[in-house]
Structure 1
Amino acid sequence: MIRSLLWFILVLYPFTSVANVYPLPEKGSRLVGEIQRHIVQKGEYFQTIAKDYDIGILELMAANPGVDPFLPKQGTLLIIPTEMLLPDVPREGVVINLPELRLYYFPKGKQKVYVFPVGIGRIGRETPIMITKVKSRIPNPTWTPPASIRKEHLEERGEVLPSVVQPGPDNPLGKFAIQLAYGTGSYLIHGTNQNFGIGMRVSSGCIRLSPDNIEWLFNNIKRGEKVTIINQVVKTSSEPSGRKIIEVHSPLSKTKVEQVQVVNWSSKNLKFMSQFDIDISTADEAIMLKNGLPVDVGLFR
C-alpha cells in the first residue's frame, strides 16, 4: 500500500534536478537507470514534461508514439526513457552520442555518470564525430556568427546579424561555453537563451544544453578533459545477469557518411545476434520501432 502510494506521488510530482545521475554499473554491464512513468496532467505537454524529467523532447516522443506532443490527453500514461545502455566507448570525460541526443559525463575518480539531453547540428550543419578535449571554458561568451550564418539569417528572416553579439539576453550561446580543441576551435558545448532546441537537431553544429545543465557542467568539467562524439544508432549488451539487450535510435539522416555508420553498426549487430541465443523477431521489432528503449531480446531456456 505504502509502495503504491509513493509510486503515485512520484508519478504526479516528479523530482527535478540538474541532470539524471546514475551509479556506474558492475563490470561487464552497460545498463543504467530505470524506466519511469508519468500520468499527463491538465495543461501539460511534452516540452514541459521533458523539462521536468531532464530528458529530450524527441526521445520522449520516440518512447510514446501516437501521443500528440502538443496536446497529450489528460490521464495518458507516458513512458519516461530514463533507462539506457551506456555507449560502447571508454567511460572518460564527455561522451556525446548524436542519435540519442544525449551527453554522458563521467567525472574522473567517481563511480557515476551524469546524463544530459542536448541539441545538436541540423541537417546541412551536422555536428562532427570527433575525439578531442576541452580547450577552454568561457563564461559570458561573445558570439561571432560566421558569414554563412549571417547570410542565411538575412535570407530566411530578413534580419541583419551583427558581426559580434555581446554577452546578454540576446546571445544564443547563453552564459557559459566550453570550447573544444577541434579544427579552428569553433565547436562549443554551450547554453542557450531560449527554451527551445534541447533534445532536438536545430543548432549550427555546436552542442546545446539547457541553462541549468551547462552551468553545472561548466563548473565541474576541467580543461583538457576528453570529449568523444560518436554516432551509435544501435547499442547492444550481454549483461552479467544473462540478459541480452538491444537499444535502437533513429539514424540522424540519409547522408552517405551516416549511412556507412549505420551499416557498420548493422554488421556488429549481426555478430551480437550470432554469438548469443537471440529472439530474432523481438530484435527485428526493436530495430523497426527505433523507440530508444532497451529491449530484452534473449531467449530464456
Structure 2
Amino acid sequence: MCRILEKTILSDILRHLVLLILILVLSGCAPRRILNANPHPFPSSPAEKIERNKFSVDKGDDVIGRLAFLRLERGDTLPDIARHFGLGINQISSANPGADLWVPAAGERILLPMSFILPDHPRTGIVINLASMRLFQFKENGKSVSVHTYPVGIGSAERPTPRGQMHVSRKMFRPTWYVPASIAEDHRKKGDPLPAKVPPGPDNPLGEYALYLDEPTYLIHGTNKPASIGLNATNGCIRLYPEDVKKLYDETPVDTPVNIMRQAYLTGQRNGVIYLEAHGSSGDSDAIELKTIYAKLRAMEKKSAHRIDWKKVENVLAEGKGIPVAVSRFQQKSGTGAERVIELRHPGRLYGRPEIPELKMDAWYVLAAEMGDKTDAERAAAIINHQGPPIPARVLPKGNRYRVIAGPFENLGTAELAVRRLKTDLEMEGILIEPPSKR
C-alpha cells in the first residue's frame, strides 16, 4: 500500500506553484500545458546541416556520414542529443566517455559519431549489425546505393536477438502485443503482473509500427521507451525510435530480406582512405576475430596507394569506441586524408525531449527521492523523465536538500501507477502527496 506524505512537502510544491504563476502574470503570459503526445515535428532544423539517416554510397566506398562536434546547453541530456541526431545511447556514450549521461555540463563540447562503416555483407534489403546496434536499409540507385541507417535496441544477454537470414513476413500498424509466457512470468515475480495482451496505445511496448519476421515471435518495431535505443534492453526483438520505425515501415515491403549479424570490427574505404571501426576493446575479443581483421587490413593495404599506420590500428582496437578512424598513412601535402570533423550549432529544441507540465494546485504528486546533492537529484529526475511512458519529474529545493517530485497526476489511480512503476523499473520507493481538496 502506498504511503501519503505529510503537508510540508505539499506546501513546498504549492509555494513553487504560486511563484511560477506570479512570474507568468508579471511577464504577461498565461499558464499553458506543455506536455503532449508529440510536441515537435520530426527533426528538420536548417541549423544542423548534416545528414542523420539517409546516404548515397558510390560503389567501392564503404564509409558513410560525418563526425561532428556540438556544444551542450543547460538541461541537455545525452539521450536527447542522441535521439535528435539519429544515434543510440551506446554510440554517444562510447564517443564521450567522460560526459555525464544525464546531467552533462553546459558548454561541454561532445563528439557526435555520425559516421559508420557499412557491414561486410551484400548491400540488399535490411542488414542489422548487433555489435554497432545499427540497422542499414539498402536500395539500388543506379551507379550508387541508397542507404538508410537507424540506431536500434537489441536483446539482452538472457534473451539475445537471433542471428541469421530472415525476411519480413507481414507488417502491422498499431499492433497488439500478445505477452509471451516468459515475460509474463518475469513481471509476475516483480509484482507487476501483465495482461494476456496489450492493445495499441502508450502502454504498448511495440509502439505504432511493427514488421514481423519469419523467425517466430521476433519483430522489428517501435517503442514507448525511446531512451532504451542503443541498449541491450529487449526480449530479442529489434527496437527503433518511433520516428525511425515509421520511415522503415513505409519504405519496406513484405518479403524484404533481413540479415542479422554481429561484426565487432569493420573495415572500409572512402576516397581511397582506409578506415577501421571497433566495437568493444580488443581485450574482450577472441583471437579469430583479431586475426581476421588484421588479414583484411593487410589485403586492403596491398591494393591501396597508402600504407597503414599499424600503431593507430592497435589504438583503435584497444579503445573500441565504435567510431570509424582513418588508419592510412598520408604524405604531407598529398592533398588526401580523412574527412574533417565539422562543428554544429545547437538546434535549440531537441526532438523528443521530455517537457514537464506545469505545477497544478489540485493534483496528486509523488515524492520519488530526497538527496543532499543537487546534481544527483537532477540526474534522478532526468532518468524518471525518460521512462516510457513518460513520468514527469522535477527537482525542488528544501533547505539544504533536494526533493525529486513526480507529477502532476490527475487522480489517485495515475499517481499510484507512477509509484508502482518507480518501484518496478527504478527500485525507488515513491510516496504519494495528496492534493489539498482530499484532506
Partner deviation per Cα, 1:238-295 (whole Å, 9 max, x = no partner): 44x33221100127xx7xxxx6xx5443222121343323222111110111111111
Where does residue 5 of structure 1 map in the other structure?
none
Q: Tell me, in whole angstroms, the C-alpha distance in 1 between the residues paired with 2:234 and 2:49.
A: 29
Query: Structure 2 residue aligned with 1:187, among 198, 213, 218?
Result: 218
1:155-234 counterparts in 2 under 5 A?
Answer: 155=189, 157-182=190-215, 185-234=216-265
Q: Tell me, in whole angstroms, the C-alpha distance in 2 between the residues paired with 1:167 and 1:12.
A: 34
1:293 pairs with 2:323: yes
Q: Tell me, in whole angstroms, the C-alpha distance in 1 between the residues paired with 2:230 and 2:78.
A: 12
Where does residue 374 of structure 2 map in the other structure?
none
1:146-157 counterparts in 2 under 5 A?
Answer: 146-155=180-189, 157=190
Would you say the 8 A contact 2:89–2:227 is kept in 1?
no
Q: Tell me, in whole angstroms, the C-alpha distance in 1 between the residues paired with 2:121 and 2:203.
A: 37
1:270 pairs with 2:311: no
Secondary structure, aligned partner of 1:81: strand
Where does residue 414 of structure 2 map in the other structure?
none
Partner AA of 2:322 in structure 1: G
Secondary structure, aligned partner of 2:226: coil
Q: Which runs of 5+ in 2 are unaligned?
A: 1-43, 302-306, 332-439
Q: 1:197 to 1:15 in 2, by over 3 A?
A: farther
Q: CA deviation at 1:300?
A: 3.2
1:237 pairs with 2:268: yes
Q: 1:12 to 1:216 in 2, by over 3 A?
A: closer
1:9-48 counterparts in 2 under 5 A?
Answer: 13-14=47-48, 20-24=53-57, 26-48=58-80
Q: CA deviation at 1:202?
A: 0.3
Q: CA deviation at 1:16?
A: 9.2
Query: Structure 1 residue aligned with 2:103, among 61, 68, 71?
Result: 71
Q: CA deviation at 1:237?
A: 2.0
Q: Tell me, in whole angstroms, the C-alpha distance in 1 between the residues paired with 2:71 and 2:188.
A: 43
Relative to the length of structure 1, the TM-score reads: 0.86
Q: Which runs of 5+ in 1 are unaligned?
A: 1-9
Relative to the length of structure 2, the TM-score reads: 0.60
Q: Tell me, in whole angstroms, the C-alpha distance in 2 between the residues paired with 1:49 and 1:270.
A: 34
Q: 1:16 to 1:300 in 2, by over 3 A?
A: closer
Matched pairs, number: 278
Q: CA deviation at 1:70?
A: 1.4
Where does residue 278 of structure 2 map in the other structure?
248
Q: Tell me, in whole angstroms, the C-alpha distance in 1 between the residues paired with 2:87 and 2:244.
A: 11
Partner AA of 2:298 in structure 1: S
Secondary structure, aligned partner of 1:34: strand
Q: 1:154 to 1:14 in 2, by over 3 A?
A: farther
Would you say the 8 A contact 1:176–1:191 is kept in 2?
yes
1:141 pairs with 2:175: yes
Partner AA of 1:285 in structure 2: N
Q: Tell me, in whole angstroms, the C-alpha distance in 1 between the residues paired with 2:46 and 2:69.
A: 9
Q: Tell me, in whole angstroms, the C-alpha distance in 2 between the residues paired with 1:52 and 1:298.
A: 32
Q: CA deviation at 1:108?
A: 4.7
Q: Tell me, in whole angstroms, the C-alpha distance in 2 between the residues paired with 1:92 and 1:284.
A: 32
Partner deviation per Cα, 1:55-85 (whole Å, 9 max, x = no partner): 1111001111111111211111111111111
Where does residue 132 of structure 1 map in the other structure?
166
Q: CA deviation at 1:144?
A: 1.3
Q: Tell me, in whole angstroms, the C-alpha distance in 1 between the residues paired with 2:297 and 2:208.
A: 46
